[in-house]
């Protein structure tokens, strides 16, 4: 039975999304088939008031969810860089959580270290190693762009590996 997983890399300026479909093999000898459904970003401009930026994230995320119809959503957990950036990312995550609740979607969360470990076998892998693993796992000739979309695909793949 096919499962659709939507990965999200939350941010206020850029929210990355990446959706995959996973179809288990019929027998233990058959491998699971994983394909990209879609990926991209939702952008908001720093020139716009923060409330309007959050509204844009909310509306556009609803559209993404309606179009992709995921079975489960995987979200990167908040990681503390600097307090000022952490607050705005937390606000964006709040909007994401509200949209998921309104769609009655189950979700799982992963820390950056969990994502790195799942994709590379090393919890301190750098960003390029994770992105190369995404391209390899999805049998892509190139790393998906922009980076936020590749990161969201990494979150979705991590969810699949944990199921």
139 in active site: no
Determine how β-strand 107-110 pairs with β-strand 14-23.
unpaired
Q: CA nearest 138: which of 27, 22, 40?
A: 22
Q: How far is CA 33 from CA 8, 21, 138, in A?
A: 21, 8, 9
Q: Which of 47, 71, 109, 148 is catalytic?
A: 148
Residue 159 bridge partners (DSSP): none
Q: How far is CA 126 from CA 55, 102, 109, 116, 162, in A?
A: 32, 35, 20, 8, 21
Q: Which of 9, 38, 59, 66 is catalytic?
A: 9
Q: Which of 47, 60, 76, 109 is catalytic?
A: 76
71 in active site: no
147 in active site: no
Q: Which residues does the annotation mark as catalytic?
A: 9, 76, 148
């Amino acid at each position: 039975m096919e499962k659709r997983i939507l990965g999200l890399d939350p941010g206020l300026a850029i929210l990355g999304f990446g959706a995959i479909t996973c179809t288990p093999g019929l027998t233990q000898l058959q491998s699971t088939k994983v394909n990209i459904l879609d990926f991209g970003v939702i952008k908001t401009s720093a020139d716009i008031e923060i409330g309007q930026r959050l509204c844009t994230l909310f509306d556009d995320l609803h559209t993404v969810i309606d179009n992709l119809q995921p079975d489960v959503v995987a979200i990167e957990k908040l990681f503390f860089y600097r307090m000022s950036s952490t607050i705005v990312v937390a606000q964006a995550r709040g909007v994401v959580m509200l949209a998921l609740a309104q769609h009655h979607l189950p979700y799982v969360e992963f820390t950056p270290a969990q994502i790195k470990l799942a994709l590379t076998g090393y919890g301190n892998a750098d960003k390029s190693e994770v992105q190369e693993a995404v391209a390899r796992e999805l049998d892509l000739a190139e790393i998906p762009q922009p980076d936020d979309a590749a990161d969201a695909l990494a979150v979705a793949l991590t969810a699949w590996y944990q199921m």
